[in-house]
Amino acid sequence: MEVYHPTAGKPAKGSEIPPVSYLKWYIPRLKEMRPHNLSFSGLQFPWDLDSIDEIWKDHRGPGIDDRRLVSEMYDIPVENVLLCHGATQAINIAISSASRGGKVAVEMPSYGPLSQSARILGLETIVVRRKPTEAAWEIDRDEWKDALSQVDLLMICPQLNPVGWCYTDEDRAWIVQTCRDNDVRIISDEVYSGAIKDWKPFFKEGDNCISLSSLTKIHGLGQIRYGWMIASKEIIQNAENTFHNMAGIMSSPVIRIAERLKPRLNEPVELIEEYRKLNLPVLQETLERLGINWTPPPYGVFGAFKVPGINTMEMIDTIGKEHGLLAVPGCMFDSGLDEWLRVGWSIDHESFCKAVKVLETVLRTAIYIT
């Protein structure tokens, strides 16, 4: 049977390089432009940009430091920041610059590049999992303790894709302390965390911790490929060397667009709050009518729930397609999530209400058939 979730294991080169099955499955379906789209894990923000003169020209000049936007966002020196083209590239650069050659523990469920990139960079990976409860997904400390004693690097995504829940405070504190005790560095993908008001980025936990993010999810600007990583000055030096070797320099149009939008970067965060207030109750009522038990995560624009007895990929590819509905099956993120469905509430209220009505029809039909 074909598997779609990310895989762990030995270093991988050439034909052994694992696919990001999620993107292979998702991009063609996104291109179909299905009218009811609940598949987005990022905010769909109605940006309207005037044209920028000579956007293609080199933006560099005396006194210009590209990193200032991010250094001001986090209130840190520019020497702790590396800019790059999206969080996905930051993942690769962070691994290259922080690894000391040992095995890497990778958290599942996951966005494929987060758990698989280390293998392409010549490192072996082992899995640690977060597991469902009624609310926040939790770690199995015995499993994590054993894994963390074998590795020198840990890859995590605190606000977990596809479920949207963060660690409990107790799990987070335990992970930070156990990594400190075992001399493990942490790479934390925080692309979804910017919507959490009192979020404490992992890099604040110590010099062994790296945070990375981008303008893709919270700001709805995935197209421009603007990302960053934050780490100790020593690790950022390694990261700069990696970036120069593997990517060269930042694209000037990307920097110019981000600088133009800088005064407005708070607007999407406010819209997320509005969409949560308007859209979430509609989804909760719908799921209740269907007898599906679900507690939404307290932040962000997506979540996932289990539909017992239903293979959600099959459902989206058949009944979903017929009704023009797109949402993301849980099987893209880990084994054992075949009955889970990820749904986003990141679109305007009117479109959301229409799409959720269709979702109800699709779920009812699937449940009736089985």
Ligand X SMILES: Cc1ncc(COP(=O)(O)O)c(C=O)c1O
List residues binding ligand X (CB under 6 A): 41, 86-88, 111, 114, 157, 161, 189, 191, 214, 216, 222, 227
Tokens describing residue 220: 């709805």
**Minimum CB separation from ligand X for residue 233, in Å?**
24
Nearest residue (CB) to ligand X, 192 versus 352: 192
Q: Look up residue 316 and give its DSSP letter.
A: I
Nearest residue (CB) to ligand X, 21 versus 161: 161
**Minimum CB separation from ligand X for residue 189, in Å?**
5
Nearest residue (CB) to ligand X, 222 versus 336: 222
Query: How far apart (Å, rounded) are the C-alpha atoms in residues 102 and 121?
Result: 12
Evaluate whether 111 touches 163 at the Cβ level (below 8 Å).
Answer: no
Nearest residue (CB) to ligand X, 177 versus 223: 223
**Minimum CB separation from ligand X for residue 93, in Å?**
12
Return all residues near 11 (Cβ < 8 A) that are at least 6 apart. Answer: 119, 120, 121, 122, 123, 124
- Angle (CA) 297 146 208, round 5°: 70
Return all residues near 227 (Cβ < 8 A) that are at least 6 apart. Answer: 83, 84, 85, 86, 87, 88, 89, 90, 212, 213, 214, 215, 216
**Minimum CB separation from ligand X for residue 142, in Å?**
26
Query: How far apart (Å, rounded) are the C-alpha atoms in residues 172 and 174?
Result: 5
Three-state helix/strand/coil letters over 320-364: HHHCCEECEEHHHCCCCCCCEEEEECCCCHHHHHHHHHHHHHHHH
**Minimum CB separation from ligand X for residue 344, in Å?**
11
Nearest residue (CB) to ligand X, 12 versus 157: 157
Element containing residue 186 per DSSP (H, E): strand 185-189
SS3 302: strand
Nearest residue (CB) to ligand X, 161 versus 242: 161
Nearest residue (CB) to ligand X, 247 versus 290: 247
**Minimum CB separation from ligand X for residue 25, in Å?**
13
* Alpha carbon 3 to its chain's center: 20
Concatenated DSSP letters for 212-264? EEESSSSSS-GGG--EEEE--HHHHHHHHHHHHHHT-S--HHHHHHHHHHGGG
Nearest residue (CB) to ligand X, 6 versus 227: 227
Nearest residue (CB) to ligand X, 111 versus 167: 111
**Minimum CB separation from ligand X for residue 23, in Å?**
9
**Minimum CB separation from ligand X for residue 164, in Å?**
11
Query: How far apart (Å, rounded) are the C-alpha atoms in residues 238 and 244?
Result: 10
**Minimum CB separation from ligand X for residue 214, in Å?**
3
